[in-house]
C-alpha cells in the first residue's frame, strides 16, 4: 500500500520535473532513509523546482535559504530577542526549523554557518546561547552547489560532507526531454503530462521508513557492503592503482548509509529483499562525496565515479 503511494508520488514528480528521473528517485530514497542530499550541477536543471514540488506533496513546512558570504549563523538558526514588555529574552526560531530545507549554493557561506548546519544535520538540534532546541521530527536538507563557478565559495569540510546521505550529480536533459520542457513551458503538453498529485502525511512517511528498515537483507549482502567500504580503506589489497588513487577511505557512516539506501532502493522497486544490484546502484551517490582522491588521481583527471566503478569491479559480490 505505502509502496504504491510512493510509486505514484514518483510518477507525479517525474511529470513535473522532466528529464531528471535520477534526481527524483534519489530524493525519495533520501526521504525514506532519513538523510540529507547534496546536489551538484549547473544552474537551471530544476534542482530547486524538484524539492519545491516534493515539498508541496508532503505534510510539513518548506523554506529556501540562499547562502551568501555575509550570512550569519543567527540568520539560519534564529536568535534570542529581548522583549521590553516582559524584560525577558525569547528565542525567535530561524528558517532551519522547517521540515524541508533547500540550502541553495551551500558552499558560499563561511565556516561559522557551516558549523551551525553541522549540528542540525547530525543531531537534528540547534544550540543558541545556552539553550538547545530540537528540529522537526521530519527534517530533510537538500543542498545545492555549482561545480563550475568557484569564485567566492568555501569548500565544504569533510565532516560536513560525511553527514550528507547522498551526493547526486545532475546532468543536462536529452533532446527529447528538452523539447518536452519547451512545450510544457508553453502549456502545450499539460494534457499529456497530467498525473494526479499525491499528498503524503508525516505518519505515512514514518511508517514507510519502518517498512524500509524491515526489508530482508541476507548475510551475504551485508558482508558485500562491508567489503565495499573496507576496499576504500585498504585499497592496496585489491590493486596498486586503487591504492595510488585513494588518499582517504569512508567512515562507518558510509556503511550505515549504504545499508539504508539499498533497502530503500529495494522497497521502491516493490521487493521485500535487498540484492547486490541494489547495493551497487546506491554505491555511487553514497560514496562519491566521502572519498578523498590523492594528488596523483587529481593530476590524472580521475573522476570519483571512475574510482567507484573500479571498486565495484574488483570487490566480489559473494
Lowest mean pLDDT of 125-134, 229-238, 285-294, name the range: 125-134
The string of pLDDT tens digits covering residues 119-149 is 888 888 888 777 888 999 999 998 988 776 6
**pLDDT, position 192:** 47
**Joined grid coordinates for residue 18:** 522532466
Determine the average pLDDT of the residues in 293-303: 87
Report the alpha-carbon distance of residue 218 to residue 272 in Å, rounded: 11
137 near 30, Cβ under 8 Å? no
Helix (H, G, I), strand (E, B) or coil at 158: helix
**pLDDT, position 77:** 87
**Joined grid coordinates for residue 128:** 543558541
pLDDT grade for 258, boundaries at 50, 70 and 90: very high
Report the alpha-carbon distance of residue 177 to residue 161 in Å, rounded: 31
Domains of the chain with bracketed CATH: 2-185 (3.40.50.300), 215-314 (1.10.8.80)
**Joined grid coordinates for residue 164:** 550528507
- E strand or H helix at 224, and its extent? helix 219-233
189 near 180, Cβ under 8 Å? yes
Rounding to the nearest 10 degrees, give the CA dihedral for residues 178, 22, 318, 294.
Answer: 90
**pLDDT, position 155:** 80
**Joined grid coordinates for residue 259:** 545499508
The C-alpha cell 526489508 sits at 215
Highest mean pLDDT of the ranges 15-19, 168-172, 256-260, 293-297: 256-260
**pLDDT, position 151:** 64
Task: Give the number of C-alpha atoms closer than 13 A to the C-alpha of residue 281, restricted to the C-beta side.
Answer: 18
**In whole angstroms, how large is the CA radius of gyration of the chain?**
21
Length of the chain: 318
Helix (H, G, I), strand (E, B) or coil at 48: helix
A 10 A CB-CB count for 88 gives 10
**pLDDT, position 79:** 82
Sign for the pseudo-dihedral over CA of 183, 147, 168, 144: negative
Tell whether pTM > 0.85: yes
Between 157 and 220, whose confidence is greater? 220
In 135-221, which ranges are E strands? 140-145, 166-169
> Which of these, 136, 133, 129, lies nearest to 79 by C-alpha position?
129
The string of pLDDT tens digits covering residues 26-81 is 999 999 999 999 998 887 888 888 888 888 899 888 898 989 888 888 888 888 88
**pLDDT, position 47:** 81
Determine the average pLDDT of the residues in 149-153: 66
- E strand or H helix at 264, and its extent? helix 252-268
Amino acid at each position: 500500500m505505502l509502496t504504491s503511494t510512493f510509486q505514484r508520488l514518483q510518477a507525479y514528480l517525474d511529470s513535473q520535473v522532466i528529464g531528471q528521473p535520477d534526481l527524483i528517485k534519489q530524493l525519495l530514497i533520501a526521504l525514506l532513509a532519513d538523510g540529507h542530499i547534496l546536489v551538484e550541477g549547473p544552474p537551471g536543471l530544476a534542482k530547486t523546482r524538484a524539492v519545491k514540488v516534493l515539498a508541496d506533496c508532503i505534510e510539513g513546512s518548506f523554506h529556501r535559504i540562499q547562502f551568501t558570504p555575509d550570512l550569519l549563523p543567527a540568520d539560519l538558526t534564529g536568535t534570542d530577542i529581548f522583549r521590553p514588555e516582559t524584560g525577558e529574552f525569547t528565542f525567535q526560531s530561524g528558517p532551519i526549523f522547517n521540515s524541508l530545507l533547500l540550502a541553495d549554493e551551500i558552499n558560499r557561506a563561511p565556516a561559522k554557518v557551516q558549523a551551525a548546519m553541522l549540528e542540525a544535520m547530525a543531531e537534528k538540534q540547534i544550540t543558541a546561547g545556552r539553550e538547545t532546541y530540537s528540529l522537526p521530527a521530519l527534517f530533510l536538507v537538500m543542498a545545492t552547489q555549482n561545480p563550475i563557478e568557484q569564485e567566492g565559495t568555501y569548500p565544504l569540510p569533510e565532516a560536513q560532507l560525511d553527514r550528507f546521505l547522498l551526493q547526486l550529480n545532475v546532468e543536462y536533459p536529452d533532446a527529447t526531454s528538452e523539447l518536452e520542457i519547451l512545450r510544457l513551458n508553453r502549456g502545450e503538453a499539460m494534457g499529456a503530462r497530467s498525473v494526479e498529485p499525491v499528498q503524503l502525511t508525516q505518519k505515512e512517511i514514518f511508517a514507510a521508513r519502518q517498512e524500509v528498515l524491515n526489508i530482508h537483507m541476507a548475510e551475504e549482502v551485508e558482508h558485500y557492503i562491508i567489503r565495499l567500504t573496507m576496499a576504500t580503506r585498504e585499497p592496496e589489497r585489491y590493486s596498486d592503482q586503487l591504492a595510488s588513487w585513494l588518499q582517504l577511505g569512508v567512515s562507518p557512516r558510509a556503511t550505515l548509509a549504504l545499508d539504508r539506501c539499498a533497502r530503500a532502493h529495494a522497497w521502491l522497486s516493490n521487493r521485500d529483499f535487498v540484492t547486490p544490484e541494489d547495493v551497487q546502484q546506491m554505491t555511487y551517490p553514497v560514496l562519491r562525496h566521502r572519498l578523498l582522491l590523492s594528488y596523483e588521481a587529481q593530476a590524472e583527471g580521475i573522476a570519483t565515479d571512475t574510482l567507484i566503478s573500479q571498486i565495484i569491479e574488483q570487490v566480489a559480490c559473494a
